[in-house]
Copies of this chain bind each other. A is one copy, B any other.
């Protein structure tokens, strides 16, 4: 039985891990819940450990790549800051190497997803690409001339914390009005929940059934399930985050003028429910839209698994 490379994606809500082949074949996904951002670091690392060992399924692990929803330093050693996770300037890589006794590499989740899409997915052969990952929040990565832009602090591509509403919703990052407060898994649930509380929706939505009538019990997967069954309230919630996705993409296109926009992360599983309204809003909001080629907005080929695939590829390329 050969060795395996395991990719792990840790977001604000869940941990996913899988063994990934050199050609990008993804094994069964091991899933855990992210313990939260106000817990002991060891709790998060216990969840990672369980997921990695489940994904390896008894095979020797040649290396683990970790895609983390946070700021990773330029050397890939530390998670400097992560709005949805407890790590703060933390030597994550070396501690997990010691614990797992195998090589560990670490990068930002969106960087990993972009790596997968450029090498094996929706952005093959494209030089200038922006990757936007929509999960609990929004992550981003910038590929220019085929190369990942890291930036001065290794923090380029933090699109989710660009302000789109002055004095808007408070954000886990400490700011207000951040894009991810209006377009993300969290935003999807917030919109749907606030509508459930309107009397005019009483008795009209599947979400009441799915939550047992308790808006506080609402989760992202419930909204998705309802939208897929045509529920009007759930569809409106997707339209709302889709429109905000398009508005934010228009800002990014004004700044970068890329060839392609690739949308990944868990929320991207909704496909055109999300991307349809986003494309419309992009066309409407983009400066000079009638005088330029507007870049296509496509779903990540690896969908919500792009981070896992890219993390495993990073581990493999590190030897």
Contacts and interface: CB of A to CB of B under 8 A. Distances in A.
Interface of A: 71, 80-81, 83, 88-89, 128, 140, 142, 144, 149-159, 161-166, 173-175, 178, 247, 250-252, 254-259, 285, 287-288, 290-293, 295
A152 B260 CA distance: 9
B149 A288 contact: no
A122 B20 CA distance: 47
A173 to B, nearest CB: 5
6 contacts: A71-B292, A81-B291, A157-B255, A158-B255, A161-B288, A166-B247
Given A71-B292, A89-B291, A144-B144, A152 B259 contact: yes
A285 B168 CA distance: 12
- What 10 A-B pairs have minimum CB-CB distances, sorted nearest first? A151-B257, A161-B287, A156-B257, A81-B291, A162-B251, A153-B292, A158-B254, A155-B257, A81-B288, A80-B291
A256 B164 CA distance: 17
Contacts of A88: 291
B288 A163 contact: no
Interface SS, A side:
loop
Contacts of A83: 287
A159 to B, nearest CB: 6
Given A80-B288, A151-B257, A255-B142, A164 B161 contact: no
A153 B255 contact: no
B255 A173 contact: no
A100 B156 CA distance: 44
Given A151-B257, A163-B250, A166-B165, A71 B288 contact: yes
Nearest to A151: B257
A272 to B, nearest CB: 23
Contact of A161 (B128, B149, B150, B254): B254
A285 B171 CA distance: 12
Nearest to A258: B152
Contacts of A157: 255, 257
